Amino acid sequence: MHNVSIGVDLHKHQLTVCFFSGTDAYHSKYATDKDGLNKFKSDVKSFIDKGFHVRVAVESTGNTRYFCNEIAALGVETFIVNTLKFKVVNESVNKTDKRDAKVIAEFLHKDMLPLVKLTSEKSENLRQLISIRKDLVRTRVRLKNKIHGILLSAGIETKAGQLNSQKGLAKILADLGGSDKKVLINRIIKSIEVLTVEIKAVENELIEMTENSRAVEILQSIPGTGLITAATIAGYIDDIQRFSHYNKFSAYCGLVPWVQCSDETKHYGKITKRGPIELRTAIIQMVMGMVRCKDEKNNRLMTAYRNLKKHKGSGKAIVATARKLTKIIWTMLTNDEEYKKDKVNKICDDIHNGLPDQNKGAA
């Protein structure tokens, strides 16, 4: 049976395709609407009907899931290219859609493509809901800052938390008396109230969406971790089995340092910051939540944090602790175990002593 490898350069309005059989290659373009995708599927099916073994590879973009769902009905193997590792396309000096599609097809034919796994639809929905809440909260903060600015221009100083309560808002409005600025601030306050209701509604949806999530339950067992932080981490991990080792999970979070080795020289830089910024931020927030927990001051993780803070400062100490916490998170989720101080201390001792990972059963 002959193989046909199909490389797809996917964009918002069109996809450029290269059909590659090992010797012959030809290109075609299709619209990304229903008619265009049906035409592409018809062309793919014609190869299948002729007895060819067909595989499709596409770069990871915003509409990759939609594209893959459309192709799935044909029973064709679909692969998603890791664009971060596939520098042949990203750094090409002769970069066109046609050439990109051909390079993808050729590498797929040789089984040399770096691939990524498409996250589950449930995780994607969870991420989008968290993103919506984040945007709503940011908008509310901007409106509150607008009120602070208006009041400052009227010679009235306010405290950061003063706008968080009805009592504080009432006092501000009373201080303004009959000022014209009172009308402006009243309008902003109404917008803030609407946003607060929407934020609460989104949070209730998050509670419903994560109600039966074992991962969220395990993550919330870590002291100082709330629902939003746990849901964010769970949403971006998707399935912990994707990571065969905690080092791979740490790298995915972007919490490992840059390393350059040449001959006998090694250089370590700042953390890579690769991977989802939302995941990295949530893990750092988890560390800060643990720092505030009085009951956790004597565990190994917090002791190491305080010792490092004395020499490196709080910023570097938090990031280093977050990197250690990724191993704890990975171990807890891999073993399906909730947080226990003695087991966390054991993991921290292993990290400190440089012991090899014992995989399951280590925590």
Are the C-beta atoms of residues 336 and 240 closer than 8 Å to each other? Answer: no
For position 82, which CATH number holds? 3.30.420.10
For residue 355, the model assigns a pLDDT of 55
Using the 3D structure, point to which of 116, 146, 170 is the last residue of a domain. Answer: 116
With respect to residue 220, please indicate whether it lies within any of the assigned structural domains.
Answer: no
Domain carrying residue 246 = 242-353
| CB neighbourhood size of 347 (10 A) | 24
Say whether both 42 and 78 belong to one domain: yes
For residues 342 and 298, give the distance between their C-alpha atoms in angstroms, rounded to a whole number: 11
Low-confidence stretches of the chain (pLDDT beneath 70) = 1, 88-93, 352, 354-363
Say whether both 59 and 97 belong to one domain: yes
Alpha helices (H) in the chain, listed in sequence order: 34-49, 64-72, 87-90, 97-109, 121-153, 166-176, 181-209, 214-220, 227-237, 246-252, 277-292, 300-312, 314-335, 341-353
With respect to residue 139, please indicate whether it lies within any of the assigned structural domains.
Answer: yes
Tokens of 302: 């917090």
Using the 3D structure, point to which of 74, 97, 116 is the last residue of a domain. Answer: 116
For residues 255 and 323, give the distance between their C-alpha atoms in angstroms, rounded to a whole number: 6
With respect to residue 181, please indicate whether it lies within any of the assigned structural domains.
Answer: yes
With respect to residue 237, please indicate whether it lies within any of the assigned structural domains.
Answer: no
- The reported pTM is 0.85
For residue 361, the model assigns a pLDDT of 37
pLDDT of 247-302, one tens digit each?
999 999 999 988 877 777 777 788 989 889 999 999 999 999 999 988 877 788 99
With respect to residue 303, please indicate whether it lies within any of the assigned structural domains.
Answer: yes
Say whether both 44 and 60 belong to one domain: yes
| DSSP string across 327-340 | HHHHHHHHHT----
